Structure 1
């Protein structure tokens, strides 16, 4: 499912876009003000943002600039009315990835979203997400609600293995074999329990990290 944040103050347009995209396996959250979408972005990032130019509390290019100051590769599609070429130029100067002119065909909008996500796929492969957690493989860093969390090398490897298998249960034996035994270090089962406890604490006990009792662990989105 593709998660979409949509900044749009026209309720009729917003409703039609939401209904269509949700038929196409998207989850759409509508924000009627720039202030509201900013608050949402601070705690959670969607797959793509649809950004209208005219908002009650500001312009789309201001929000786009704010987004780019924080997240370089968050996909943004700029929505503009026909003839506003200055809006399009401004949007791209501030980091929008694509634009769609109003009134637009909903099928065209959906195809633009898919095309943009395909282009971003390579970059996304370096980042693993689950709820408010992100693991950046390029930086070898872990983030909770956009704030970096300092973890040990072992904790990083544990989280990476679980995130790479998101939605699947990873057994305790698999974790022990792939993380410890591959390094030539034999440990007992209790070491895994202690390591996982410390990782949970550092990550603020995330609901998406589930324990499958006496079997293993599973990362699973809850939002």
Structure 2
């Protein structure tokens, strides 16, 4: 039985969510402040976290950053803000999904089920991916290029992992965005993806202007190249 962690200060929302989650068969711990959350949190204790962003003593973003220092547990943000910058920040610091209030309970439950399934799949996957001079240590969430560490945001890491899990396969922008972002809204357009591709190339390519690892396939998408440099 999966154990979830809810960080939320709205009592009426806590009441509704706790009833629904427990009825669905989940164990649940609840915190209403950052201080309570930090006292409850223990690495690998929970299968998924649901974090409110605005809290009486700080932000759920801060708690996410603390968690991501030691754990890759799935994280869903709940917030009243649908600003693009806020959503991108939440994803970049390690969030896996982002739901704006008010939301339909069925939508949140569906997102929770999907992330738990995905997390279970990742736990059964190999512990390491190696290709074209890049190594991903999947359990630790770390990346290396030619043996040296690469500093990636959470979204850049997920993007790189998706490419390396599908070597030589052309991935459409829709496939990539569908894998990386489950959030509502249209902010994940082609321009946003292009920005992330450019940022990733700057960190993993020997010459970002002439990429040899993440290749653009005109009018089709991108692919992870397992061979040598392409012209």
TM-score of the two chains, using structure 1 as the length reference: 0.53
* Matching of residues 32-47 of structure 1 within 5 Å: 32-42=32-42, 45-47=45-47
Q: Secondary structure at the match of 2:77?
A: strand
Give 1:124's aligned residue.
123
Distance 2:54 2:123 in 1: 29
Q: Secondary structure at the match of 1:42?
A: coil
Give 1:24's aligned residue.
24
Contact 1:80/1:88, CA 8 A, preserved across alignment: no
Q: Show structure 2 runs of 5+ residues with no match.
A: 126-138, 141-231
Shift of 1:87: 2.2
Shift of 1:58: 0.8
Q: Show structure 1 runs of 5+ residues with no match.
A: 127-137, 140-223
Distance 1:89 1:24 in 2: 30
Aligned length: 129
Shift of 1:122: 2.5
Give 2:218's aligned residue.
none
Give 2:9's aligned residue.
9
Give 1:88's aligned residue.
87
Distance 1:112 1:48 in 2: 11
More helix by share: 1
TM-score of the two chains, using structure 2 as the length reference: 0.51
Contact 2:44/2:73, CA 8 A, preserved across alignment: no
Which is higher, the Rg of structure 1 or of structure 2?
1
* Matching of residues 140-155 of structure 1 within 5 Å: none
Shift of 1:84: 3.1
Distance 1:44 1:35 in 2: 19
* Matching of residues 1-223 of structure 1 within 5 Å: 1-42=1-42, 45-71=45-71, 73-125=72-124
Runs of 4+ in 1 over 3 A off after TM superposition: none
Distance 1:102 1:54 in 2: 12
Q: Secondary structure at the match of 1:9?
A: coil
Contact 1:60/1:91, CA 8 A, preserved across alignment: no
